[in-house]
Every structure is written in C-alpha cells, then in structure tokens.
Amino acid sequence: MDTPEREKRSIPSIDPAAAGGEGITRRAFIHRSLVAGAALGAASQALFPLISTLDVAYGAQEFRFAWISDTHLYPKTLNTRFVEKAERAVNDVKAMKPAPDFLIFGGDLAQLGDPVELQLGADILKNLSLKKYFIPGEHDWYLDMGATWEKLFGKQPWSFDHKGVRFIGLDTVSRGPDYWSAKKMTPAERMGHMATLDGSVAGPWAGVGADQLQWLAKTLSNWPKDKPVILFSHNPLYEYYPPWNFWVRDWRDVQEVLRPYTKVTNIHGHTHQVLYNEIGTMRSIGMLATSWNWPYPPQGVPALTVPMVRVDPGDHFDGVGWGKLTMTAKERVDYQYMMWRKDVFSQTQVDSGTGDNMNQILSPRFADRP
C-alpha cells in the first residue's frame, strides 16, 4: 500500500504520555493498567484498544519471554514467503534487549506435517540459543501422527516453575477422533482435511482429553491457588466458532479443573489474529501467526476482544508477527503484539476486521460433504 493510502487508513496518534507512560505505540500496544485504560477511553473512541491488564501475583523481579507460532512452513522448493517471516521473527527475538528468559513455540511449525517442513523449522529455530519450549499444532501432527514432531521436540504436556510462576504446555491437537480409518485415507489425505479450516471432514478435532485433564489437575494440585499459572495451548480454551474449529471441544472440563486457581492466563496460537477473552478467572490471549492472518469469523468474537485492523492482502508482512510477554515487577503480565506492519488495533469501524462485516451472512461449504 503506498503512502497516501496508508495515511487514509491511519488515525491521529494517541499521545503516549497521556496514555499512561512510555512504551505505548500504536504499532505494538502494551496492555496496561485499567486507570490508563480509562484515560485512553476518554481520549479516543470506544473502538480504541481496550486495556487489559494481566495481574499476576509475582512481586520480585521482572522477566520476559517470547512467543512465536503458526509459521506454517512449506518446503523451500515450493515457497519461501513463510520461511522469510519465520526467520524474521527469530531474528527479532534474538535482538530483544534484555534477552527473554525463554521462547515458547506455540504450534503449527509446518504446513502439512512433512518431515522436511518440520526439520526446516527446527533449523530456523536453532539460530536461537535461548531456552525453548514447544507445543504442537494440528499441522505438525496429522501426517505421521506426531512421530517427527516428538523426535524433534519431545513430548507434551509439560510443566516447569520459573520465578514464581507455574508454566504448563498442553497438547490440544493429538486427540482428534478417527475420521480417516473408515474412509481408508492416506496420511496425506488425513493431513489435507486437518489443514482445511472450513472443512467438515475432520470434525471437532481439538481437545484436551480425559487423560491430559487428569494430568493437569495433578500438576496443579501442589500449587497454591492464588499463585500465577500460565497455560500454553495451541487452541483457545473456550468455545470460539466451532465451525472453524477455533476451540477445544472439552473446554468446559478444562475450566472445571482451573476454577480454584485465581490467576490463570492462557496464551494460545492457532487463530492467527488478535484475540482476548476472560472465562471465569482465566484470561486468554490469542497471539499472531508469522505466516498469515485469519479473518475473524462471522460470529462469536469475544466481546472483550478489541479487533485488529483489516489486513492488506498485497503485503504479506501485514497482519502477522510474534509476541512479547513481560511479567512486570508490579505483579502483572503485559503482552505486546509485534506486528510487522501498520497499527495493531482498529480504531474505526470501517478499518476493523469485524466492524466492516455488518452486512455479511455466510454459509458453510458443501463440496466436501458426502
């Protein structure tokens, strides 16, 4: 998009000082206190970013970690666009000062689960020498049912404690009900259906599963109820537009296990878009993909989500990026979308990824139905 058009799309900037301090830019908006939020709300329109502070009872030193997910790498012989963006995210994380304590890779490293793609991803991420944790996405799994993934990145779920926070990584992808055996699908066909977001064949594949729920309950059982828990999952842990499998089918059971814990933050990938929600005491943050942006579904975007801007389809660096998460000394986590182009949040209806669709009514596809 050339300059005059970009200007048409952008809105007069907000004075960072008035907005509650340093570090607030329109490109990478840091979520700050509710007090600052009120000031911002008054200074702008209702569509301006909702301020959402993630309070975490951690009183000592500040630390940061980085999130990269949804790189969806194809073999380099097909296309290098997604490779370039994955490399850019890695270089950005490398350049973080002070360095983050660790990186969480949130799944969908590969596009079609091809070992070549997964190995390419492993090689790109090798350039980061810091500690790395991995959770799988459905695109990493359904060609060889996780064989290559586990060989390269180990098993999930896992948990570790870091500076007063219990971190947990879930596997929300591997327990999809068998839709392939009866139809005698090849592994590539199975993967193809999984990779089609608006397809109907793979069914409600995302789930935590009874065994992993039990593991979660046990893992939390020796953790004080008022201490912070940060839960990583590929898919969001609430009901978000099931026709596109933007959810985890047994999310209610997950909430049941989490209910006693008062400071749970879920950070997830898979939705490739700015997303925020609160379910019970759990706060949920959806991170960007590095590869491409999913549009918002026609219904079900959480009311607490401040939508991101409409994306320029002519610029493949628009609407995508990675994430910085900071546990501050003031006992809260700030999260920052590191989007490579434009502003993150929409500030007018017409530029919003949801607000421009008031006339839209959609029907599910049918060509993949029997």
Partner 1 sequence: MKKGWIYAVIVCSVSLGIGLLGAGIGGAHKVKHTPEQLKAFEDVFMEQVKIGDLLFHGDAATEKKLGTKLSRTGMACAMCHPFAVDTHPYEFPKFQEQINKFSTLRDMINWCIEKPNEGEILGADSDAMKALEAYIYWSNRGSKLDPGRH
Angle between helix 210-221 and helix 251-258 axes, rounded to 10 deg: 10
Residues from 271 through 310 that contact partner 1 (CB under 8 A): 292-295, 297-298
Contact region with ligand HEC (CB under 6 A), list: 23-31, 95-103, 310-318, 327-335? 310-318
Contact region with partner 1 (CB under 8 A), list: 22-30, 43-51, 71-79, 280-288? 71-79
What does the DSSP assignment read for 336-369?
EEEESSS-SB--SGGGBTTGGGTT-------TT-
Closest by alpha carbon to 292, among 334, 245, 341?
A: 341
Coil, helix or strand at residue 333: strand
Report the length, in residues, of the chain. 370
Instruction: Round to whole Å and give the CA distance between 104 and 84.
Output: 19
Q: Is 211 exposed, middle or buried (0-12, 13-18, 19+ CB in 10 A)?
A: exposed
Least distance from partner 1 to the Cβ atom of residue 68, Å: 20
Position among 31, 32, 190, 310 found at the interface with ligand HEC (CB under 6 A): 310
Residue type, 333: V
Q: Contacts with partner 1: how many residues (CB under 8 A)?
A: 37
Instruction: Round to whole Å and give the CA distance between 229 and 220.
Output: 9
Counting contacts by CB under 8 A, is residue 25 touching partner 1? Answer: no
Counting contacts by CB under 6 A, is residue 292 touching ligand HEC? Answer: yes
What does the DSSP assignment read for 11-66?
-PPPPTTTTTSTT--SSSPBP--HHHHHHHHHHS-TTS-----EE----S--EEEE
- HSE (CB half, 13 Å, CA atoms) of 348? 8
Counting contacts by CB under 6 A, is residue 168 touching ligand HEC? Answer: no
Least distance from Fe ion to the Cβ atom of residue 68, Å: 12
Counting contacts by CB under 8 A, is residue 359 touching partner 1? Answer: yes
Counting contacts by CB under 5 A, is residue 318 touching Fe ion? Answer: no
Least distance from partner 1 to the Cβ atom of residue 350, Å: 6
Choose among Fe ion, ligand HEC, partner 1, none what residue 167 binds, the Cβ cut-off being 5 to 8 Å by kind.
none
Buried b (16+ CB within 10 A) or exposed e, 167-185: bbbbbbbbbbeebbeeeee
| 102 to 121: interface string for Fe ion, x by CB under 5 A | ------x-------------
Counting contacts by CB under 8 A, is residue 367 touching partner 1? Answer: yes
Counting contacts by CB under 8 A, is residue 122 touching partner 1? Answer: no
Contact region with partner 1 (CB under 8 A), list: 12-20, 122-130, 332-340, 350-358? 350-358
> Measured on CA atoms in the order 86, 89, 91, 93, is the torsion positive or negative?
negative
| 232 to 271: interface string for partner 1, x by CB under 8 A | -----------xx---------------------------
Give Cα 343 distance to the centre of its chain.
Answer: 18
Position among 197, 227, 253, 331 found at the interface with partner 1 (CB under 8 A): 197
Position among 22, 182, 361, 370 found at the interface with partner 1 (CB under 8 A): 361
Can you give the binding site for partner 1, defined by CB under 8 A?
1, 5, 8, 74, 78-79, 81, 111, 196-199, 243-244, 292-295, 297-298, 312-314, 316, 350, 356-357, 359-368
